[in-house]
Amino acid sequence: MNSGKIDKSGGGRGLHRQEEKRRLLKLEELFERHGENLYRYLVFRLGSAEDAEDILQETFCRFARYGLRWKFVRDPQAFVFSVARNEVNRFLKRKLGRRAGEAMITTGAAGGFTAAFTAPDDQTLVALLCSADDLPAEQKEVVFLKVFEGLTFKEIGSVCGMSSNTAASRYRYGIEKLRQATEGGK
């Protein structure tokens, strides 16, 4: 039976510290698993390495701040890309103002494919990346996530807020435009 006294021994603090340590280890593991890919995606979306670093940090701060229960997340990879995408949109609205930020979001990536990769040596790859930059924004993002990040259409749909069929369709149209551009350049 409880005597009504409060336990001041500090036994609860040890459990709190252990939980905090576990949470930090999960964040570290999450960063190791997805950090590089998220960074490349953010450079693709923003066109600036400095802005990408800031948004990457803010994305992981958001995970830490909310103490997310990862057992409720069905697809961690799609979830981290979705959170990063939302952070990009918030950043653009804040940095450029609401109207200009929304215009930037709808027109697509600021940097595009060539900003996300350092000077490739292969001239064919250079031509392909330049052609990819000319794709419409919705196709460009889907092609990037599918080809370079290896997301499934279901994951892309989750990240971009569309159905998996729409993601597949945009990917198909984007790839077809790239094929036409490379065959037309020969």
> In this predicted model, what pLDDT tens digit does every residue of 124-146 receive, in sequence order?
555 666 677 778 888 888 888 88
Task: Please report whether residue 1 resides in a domain.
Answer: no
Q: Is 155 a residue whose pLDDT tops 80?
A: yes
Burial label, 32 (beta-carbon count in 10 A; 0-12, 13-18, 19+): exposed
Task: Please report whether residue 4 resides in a domain.
Answer: no
CA–CA dist 181, 133 (Å, integer):
12
Task: Please report whether residue 5 resides in a domain.
Answer: no
Task: Please report whether residue 142 resides in a domain.
Answer: yes
What rounded mean pLDDT belongs to the chain? 75
Query: pLDDT tens-digit profile of 157-172?
Result: 999 999 999 999 999 9
Task: Please report whether residue 139 resides in a domain.
Answer: yes
The residue-averaged pLDDT of 142-153 equals 85
CB 160 within 8 A of CB 146: no
Which carries the bigger pLDDT value, residue 6 or residue 127?
127
Q: Terminus-to-terminus CA distance in the chain, angstroms?
A: 85
Task: Please report whether residue 64 resides in a domain.
Answer: yes
Place of tokens 């459990």: 15
Question: Chain centroid to CA 116: how far?
Answer: 13
Structural domain including 78 reads 14-184
The residue-averaged pLDDT of 27-43 equals 89
Q: Domain total for the chain?
A: 1
Task: Please report whether residue 106 resides in a domain.
Answer: yes
pLDDT of residue 29: 87
Task: Please report whether residue 153 resides in a domain.
Answer: yes
